[in-house]
Amino acid sequence: MKLFDVYPLFDINIVSGKGCYTYDTEGTEYLDLYGGHAVISVGHTHPYYTEKLTEQAHKLIFYSNSVINDLQIKLAEKLGRISGYDDYSLFLINSGAEANENALKLASFHTGKKKVIAFRKAFHGRTSAAVKVTDNPKIVAPINDTFEVVFPELNDFETVEQEINKGDVCAVIIEGIQGVGGIQIPNPGFLQKIRQLCTRHGVVLILDEVQSGYGRSGKFFAHQHAGIRPDIITMAKGMGNGFPVGGLIISPMFTPSYGLLGTTFGGNHLACTAASAVLDIIENENLIENAARVGSYLKTELEKLPQIKEVRGEGLMLGLVFEQPSTELRKKLLYEQKVFTGASGTNVIRLLPPLILTTQQAEEFIKRLKKIL
Ligand code: PMP
CATH of the domain at 260: 3.40.640.10
pLDDT digits (tens, 9 = 90+) for 75-117: 999 999 999 999 999 999 999 999 999 999 999 999 999 999 9
Residue 110 structural domain = 49-284
Q: How many whole angstroms from 211 Cα to the centroid of ligand 1?
A: 7
Task: Report the percentage of the chain scoring pLDDT > 70.
Answer: 98
**Residue 344 confidence (pLDDT) above 60:** yes
Q: How would residue 135 be classed by pLDDT, with cut points 50, 70 and 90?
A: confident
Q: How would residue 129 be classed by pLDDT, with cut points 50, 70 and 90?
A: confident
For ligand 1, pick from 123, 212, 234, 317 the residue to mutate: most ligand atoms within 8 Å of CB.
Answer: 123
Q: What is the pLDDT of residue 198?
A: 98
Q: What is the pTM assigned to this prediction?
A: 0.97
> Looking at ligand 1, which residue's alpha carbon is closest to its atom 1?
124
Give the integer Cα–Cα distance in Å for 118 and 160: 9
174: closest CA among 163, 160, 162, 164? 160
Task: Please check whether residue 3 lies inside any domain of the structure.
Answer: no
Segment 140-160 mean pLDDT = 83
Q: What is the pLDDT of residue 139?
A: 64
Segment 262-289 mean pLDDT = 98
pLDDT digits (tens, 9 = 90+) for 27-54: 999 999 999 999 999 999 999 999 999 9
- Helix axes 359-372 and 287-303, enclosed angle (nearest 10): 30
Q: What is the pLDDT of residue 169?
A: 97
Segment 120-133 mean pLDDT = 84
pLDDT digits (tens, 9 = 90+) for 178-233: 999 999 999 999 999 999 999 999 999 999 999 999 999 999 999 999 999 999 99
Q: How many whole angstroms from 179 Cα to the centroid of ligand 1?
A: 9
**Residue 304 confidence (pLDDT) above 60:** yes
Is residue 27 left, alpha or beta, with left meaning phi > 0 and alpha meaning psi from -120 to 50? Answer: left
Q: Does residue 238 contact residue 278 with C-beta atoms inside 8 Å?
A: yes
> Looking at ligand 1, which residue's alpha carbon is closest to its atom 13?
96
Q: How many whole angstroms from 302 Cα to the centroid of ligand 1?
A: 27
What is each CA distance from 155 to 102, 188, 191, 200, 224, in whole angstroms? 25, 9, 8, 19, 17
For residues 133 and 163, which has the higher predicted lDDT (pLDDT)? 163
* Cβ-count burial 314-324 (b if 16+ within 10 Å, e if not): bbbbbbbbbee
Do 26 and 64 share a domain, yes or no?
A: no
Do 169 and 80 share a domain, yes or no?
A: yes
Q: Does residue 85 contact residue 249 with C-beta atoms inside 8 Å?
A: yes
**Which residues have C-beta atoms less than 6 Å from ligand 1?**
95-97, 100, 123-126, 175, 179-180, 208, 210-211, 236
17: closest CA among 45, 54, 48, 42? 45
Task: Please check whether residue 9 lies inside any domain of the structure.
Answer: no
For ligand 1, pick from 39, 127, 207, 237 the residue to mutate: most ligand atoms within 8 Å of CB.
Answer: 237
Give the integer Cα–Cα distance in Å for 368 and 339: 8
Count of domains forming the chain: 2
Q: How would residue 127 be classed by pLDDT, with cut points 50, 70 and 90?
A: confident
Task: Please check whether residue 306 lies inside any domain of the structure.
Answer: yes
Q: What is the pLDDT of residue 132?
A: 76
Q: What is the pLDDT of residue 133?
A: 78
Tell me 233's DSSP state: E
Half-sphere exposure of 346 (CA within 13 A, CB side): 4
Q: How many whole angstroms from 195 Cα to the centroid of ligand 1?
A: 23
pLDDT digits (tens, 9 = 90+) for 319-340: 999 999 999 999 999 999 999 9
What is each CA distance from 187 to 13, 174, 179, 226, 290, in whole angstroms? 40, 12, 15, 8, 23
Single out the residue in 231, 258, 284 at which a domain terminates. 284
For residues 227 and 346, which has the higher predicted lDDT (pLDDT)? 227
**Helix count (H) and strand count (E) of the chain?**
11, 15
Tell me 4's DSSP state: P
Do 33 and 170 share a domain, yes or no?
A: no
Do 141 and 261 share a domain, yes or no?
A: yes
For ligand 1, pick from 211, 233, 234, 243 the residue to mutate: most ligand atoms within 8 Å of CB.
Answer: 211
**Residue 130 confidence (pLDDT) above 80:** no
Q: How many whole angstroms from 96 Cα to the centroid of ligand 1?
A: 5
Average pLDDT, the chain: 95
Do 38 and 54 share a domain, yes or no?
A: no
* Cβ-count burial 241-264 (b if 16+ within 10 Å, e if not): bbbbbbbbbbbeebeeeeeebeee
